[in-house]
């Protein structure tokens, strides 16, 4: 085969094909210039890296050097293959790949688990497994609340028994309460959000779109957890408490009710209203911290450190603002043990002392503090979803029930950006709603088939 002037030549030094420079006397009739270079003055500029799109036929098999060149070109193309930008369209801030989001991966994994459960036969799971799936979040709240309050009550009781003074080793008592809350958050944080506090649950329902259907369940679970924690503490130290205070007094020197419940410090003439104000302020500080740790648009440290930080904040609040009010910062931390003390023989003064303190301080003060803290944080800082501070007109109409909706529903995709204490429950609720819709759709299709 006679090679034409267009036949490329293999360069063994560089391992590439190149187009030889046309010789003198060759006219345009002898060869065709590459498209796009026909109007180039002086002929075709030789380019060692130039490759033709058309195949060039060879009579002979490629030599070893030519095969090596082919492999090199293939490896070069593979190395410089660009990623598919369509796969990254949902991720911002990362070039060439997905932005790592552990919470979204956990949500996707949970969705796959739920789908596999639907595909498997129900007989593969025992009775308790199916019951637990229905009440898993309240069970997690019960366990977390019980452990958190148990640690705090035991710290108070040991201090009283061995020192005969509730004010002794005050920092140790506060530290135990904070670390107890930290343990509770790590125990149930990925299941229920580990609220362990009815005031926090109510605040998240109002300001972060936590499902209202879960609020009563959480309240009951948290109250039962606090009641059981008081019972376990009494089982360990009840004999010693009866030895120290056989009359089970509520107020006065040597009274032991304050081991389990809070009471205002009014011995120096401090008004009860000032003690309530301290409870409100302590609850607001704790709430602001909780919201900041779960705010994706702020600088959250991540789920691995959030529980530890909340525990340290509880320790700091107790050390700085715990004397006047007893810093319940949690309604069930006072109300659950108070019910238990009434059941073991403490007098009715438990409910009436200091102008019904259990209502003014641990209930009204704590709930007011969390609402105040959430309002301040959302007004000054928060720009995300779920908060009434950021509602538009349509969302307010939905919230007030003017369009047939009881409250604003957080979409499934947006729920992944919501607060850590809300995201898991909202995702589960949305998955359950989708299951119901699929079941209703299958039922309608079945009726049409019949």
Q: How many CB atoms lie within 10 A of CB 87?
A: 10
Residues 319-359: tens digit of each pLDDT? 999 889 988 899 999 999 999 999 998 999 999 999 999 99
Q: What is the pLDDT of residue 160?
A: 77
Q: Are 110 and 427 in contact (CB under 8 A)?
A: yes
Model pTM above 0.85: no
Largest Cα separation within the chain, whole Å, is 124
The helix-helix angle for 420-449 and 102-119 (nearest 10°) equals 30
Q: What is the pLDDT of residue 114?
A: 61
Task: Report the topology of domain 132-397.
Answer: Glycerol uptake facilitator protein (1.20.1080)
Q: Are 211 and 426 in contact (CB under 8 A)?
A: yes
Q: What is the pLDDT of residue 67?
A: 54
Tokens coding 34: 């590459």
Of 382, 414, 388, 390, residue with least CA distance to 400: 388
Q: What is the pLDDT of residue 83?
A: 45
Q: What is the pLDDT of residue 425?
A: 75
CA distance 395 to 267: 50
Q: Are 346 and 250 in contact (CB under 8 A)?
A: yes
Q: What is the pLDDT of residue 443?
A: 66
Residues 251-283: tens digit of each pLDDT? 888 889 999 999 999 888 899 999 999 999 999
Residues 221-251: tens digit of each pLDDT? 999 999 999 999 999 999 999 998 999 999 8
Q: Are 208 and 198 in contact (CB under 8 A)?
A: no
Burial (CB count within 10 angstroms: exposed 0-12, middle 13-18, buried 19+), residue 117:
middle
CA distance 150 to 143: 10
**Per-residue burial over 310-337, b = 16 or more CB atoms within 10 Å of its CB, e = otherwise:** bbbbbbebbbebbbbbbbbbbbbbbbbb
Q: Which residues of the chain have pLDDT under 70?
A: 1-124, 164-169, 302-303, 398-418, 420, 424, 427, 429-433, 435-436, 439-440, 443-450
Coil, strand or helix: which one is 440? Answer: helix
Q: What is the pLDDT of residue 363?
A: 95
Q: What is the pLDDT of residue 404?
A: 40
Tokens coding 53: 């799109």
Q: How many CB atoms lie within 10 A of CB 408?
A: 17
Tokens coding 394: 């349509």
Coil, strand or helix: which one is 36? Answer: coil
Residues 372-385: tens digit of each pLDDT? 999 999 999 998 87
Q: What is the pLDDT of residue 271?
A: 93
Q: What residues form DSSP beta bridges with 9?
A: 18
Q: How many CB atoms lie within 10 A of CB 237?
A: 21
Q: What is the pLDDT of residue 311?
A: 95
Task: Please calculate the CA angle 40-42-43 and round it to the nearest 5 degrees.
Answer: 70
Coil, strand or helix: which one is 23? Answer: coil
Tokens coding 346: 């403490």
Q: Residue 315: CB partners within 8 Å, gap ≥ 6? A: 174, 175, 177, 178, 179
Q: Are 292 and 383 in contact (CB under 8 A)?
A: no
The ranges assigned to domains in the chain are 132-397
CA 430, 431, 435, 441 torsion: positive or negative? positive
């Amino acid at each position: 085969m006679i090679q034409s002037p267009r036949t490329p030549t293999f360069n063994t030094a560089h391992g590439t094909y190149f187009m030889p420079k046309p010789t003198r006397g060759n006219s345009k009739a002898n060869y065709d210039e590459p498209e796009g270079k026909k109007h180039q003055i002086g002929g075709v500029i030789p380019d060692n890296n130039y490759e033709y799109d058309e195949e060039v036929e060879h009579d002979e098999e490629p030599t070893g050097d030519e095969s090596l060149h082919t492999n090199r070109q293939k490896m070069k193309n593979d190395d410089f293959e660009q990623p598919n930008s369509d796969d990254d369209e949902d991720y911002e801030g990362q070039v060439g790949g997905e932005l790592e989001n552990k919470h979204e991966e956990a949500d996707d994994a949970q969705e796959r688990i739920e789908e596999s459960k639907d595909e498997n036969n129900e007989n593969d799971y025992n009775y308790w497994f199916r019951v637990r799936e229905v009440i898993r979040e309240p069970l997690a709240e019960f366990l977390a609340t019980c452990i958190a309050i148990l640690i705090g009550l035991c710290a108070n009781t040991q201090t009283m028994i061995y020192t005969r003074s509730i004010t002794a080793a005050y920092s140790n008592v506060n530290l135990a309460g904070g670390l107890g809350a930290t343990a509770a958050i790590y125990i149930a944080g990925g299941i229920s959000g580990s609220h362990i506090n009815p005031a926090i649950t109510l605040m998240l329902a109002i300001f972060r779109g936590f499902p209202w259907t879960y609020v009563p369940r959480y309240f009951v679970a948290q109250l039962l957890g606090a009641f059981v924690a008081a019972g376990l503490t009494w089982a360990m130290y009840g004999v010693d408490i009866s030895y120290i205070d056989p009359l089970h007094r509520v107020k006065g020197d040597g009274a032991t009710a304050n081991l389990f419940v809070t009471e205002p410090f009014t011995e120096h003439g401090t008004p009860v209203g000032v003690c309530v104000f301290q409870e409100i302020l302590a609850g607001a500080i704790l709430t602001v911290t909780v919201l900041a740790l779960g705010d994706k648009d702020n600088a959250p440290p991540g789920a691995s450190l959030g529980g530890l930080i909340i525990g340290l904040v509880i320790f700091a609040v107790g050390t700085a603002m715990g004397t006047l009010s007893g810093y319940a910062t949690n309604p069930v931390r006072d109300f659950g043990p108070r019910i238990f003390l009434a059941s073991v023989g403490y007098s009715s003064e438990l409910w009436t002392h200091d102008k019904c303190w259990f209502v003014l301080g641990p209930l009204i003060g704590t709930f007011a503090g969390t609402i105040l803290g959430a309002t301040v944080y959302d007004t000054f800082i928060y720009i995300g979803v779920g908060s009434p501070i950021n509602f538009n007109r349509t969302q307010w109409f939905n919230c007030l029930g003017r369009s047939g909706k009881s409250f604003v529903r957080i979409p499934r995709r947006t729920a992944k950006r919501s607060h850590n204490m809300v995201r898991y429950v909202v995702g589960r609720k949305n998955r359950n709603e989708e299951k119901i819709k699929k079941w209703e759709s299958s039922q309608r299709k079945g009726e049409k088939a019949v």
